[in-house]
Structure 1
Amino acid sequence: MQQGYAAVLCFLAVLGLEAAAPGECELTRLLQDKLQYEMRLQYMKHYFPIDYTVRVQYEEVLRPSNITRLRNGTVSEAALRYLWFHVSSQAVLRIREVLPEKHPSWKYTQELCQLFDALGEEYSKYRQTDVEAVVADLVKLIHSAGAESRSKAVRPKALLDNCLKVMRMLYGVPSWESSSILHRCGKTEAVPAK
């Protein structure tokens, strides 16, 4: 992710609202569609060698247990969405970095990058303020050059699995086949199962 996006990403933390912005809702719905199990399996597992891993920093692996711990530490929902967005964007970029342009998964990761870029644009509409210290520290660790020594090997599919699981937690959707991601966006309409 470009260094300039670090500042743009800080804008999300000022939302301070339980409900997400309308543009954010639409973009996360599109991400939901792109992160369907069949697509993650095909593009992030079947098109990679068996047991293939990508090197990422420890801070670039965001699991539901991390979100629960941060919630218990009273981190705001807006800051948690900001953290999810930032970590997930980095994960997709890490995967794309290892792919040649002719790889069958290149276009898929490019489409994910475009959705995250659009989310960055959506968040840039908000006024910048400080985020909770714990979230700001995590973002600094992700961008620090010396953190490469604190890396771990993770399968590409696992990175996107975590992205989807955390998105489900943050947008309050227990079952995406029967509910809409728009639940936190002020709408509760059902979405047909795919």
Structure 2
Amino acid sequence: MVQSECRLLRGLLGFICLLPMCMSTSSELCVSVRTLKDSLNSTLRRRFMKMNLPINYTIQVHYEEVFRLRNISQLNREEDPPEPRDLQELWLYASQKGISKVLKVLPERHPTRRKYLSNLENLFRNFEALYNQHHPKDEVRTMMSFLPSS
């Protein structure tokens, strides 16, 4: 059970780097996404996550909080599929929430927190600022309209 939760966490962080490559972006966004991709590569993830997480470490996530390709494929097969921009915003939101959730449960002095996840969180904030410059939000459409109500 612990291994499956660790795999879920690694899969979540690994998937974060996959989706932006499938989306259309401008050249400045490509540089930011490439930086994110480099930070999310499997070698860094393994170095920081594998050895620094205790065996019984678990993070509770709801099914809806996991951003899966299968769910995106199902959305695209619907009669009224979402726009790529909506999926990009959802990816950004889910990635940031996943990282912040991991940061909340890690102790303040944990090596993964200082060296890896804080840097990753800052990269996502920078990417979000750049993304919002290139894609100003419409008043009618907001990312929050696609999220389930809590």
Report whether the alignment pairs 1:76 with 2:83: yes
**Greater relative CO (CA pairs within 8 A, separation 6+):** 1
Higher helix share: 2
The corresponding residue for 1:100 is 107
TM-score, normalised to structure 1, is: 0.57
Q: 1: distance between equivalents of 2:136 and 2:33?
A: 21
Q: 2: distance between equivalents of 1:27 and 1:51?
A: 34
Report the count of equivalent residues: 123
Identify if the C-alpha distance between structure 1 residues 67 and 132 changes in structure 2 by more than 3 Å, giving closer, same or farther. farther
RMSD of aligned alpha carbons: 2.2
The corresponding residue for 2:94 is 87
Q: Percent identity?
A: 32
Q: 2: distance between equivalents of 1:24 and 1:59?
A: 27
Gaps of at least 5 residues in structure 2 are: 1-22
The corresponding residue for 2:29 is 24
Gaps of at least 5 residues in structure 1 are: 1-17, 145-194
Q: 1: distance between equivalents of 2:56 and 2:41?
A: 21
Q: Is the 8 A contact 1:75 1:132 kept in 2?
A: no
TM-score, normalised to structure 2, is: 0.72
The 5 Å alignment of 1:2-151 reads 19-73=24-78, 74-106=81-113, 107-125=115-133, 126-129=135-138, 130-131=140-141, 136-138=145-147, 140-141=148-149, 144=150
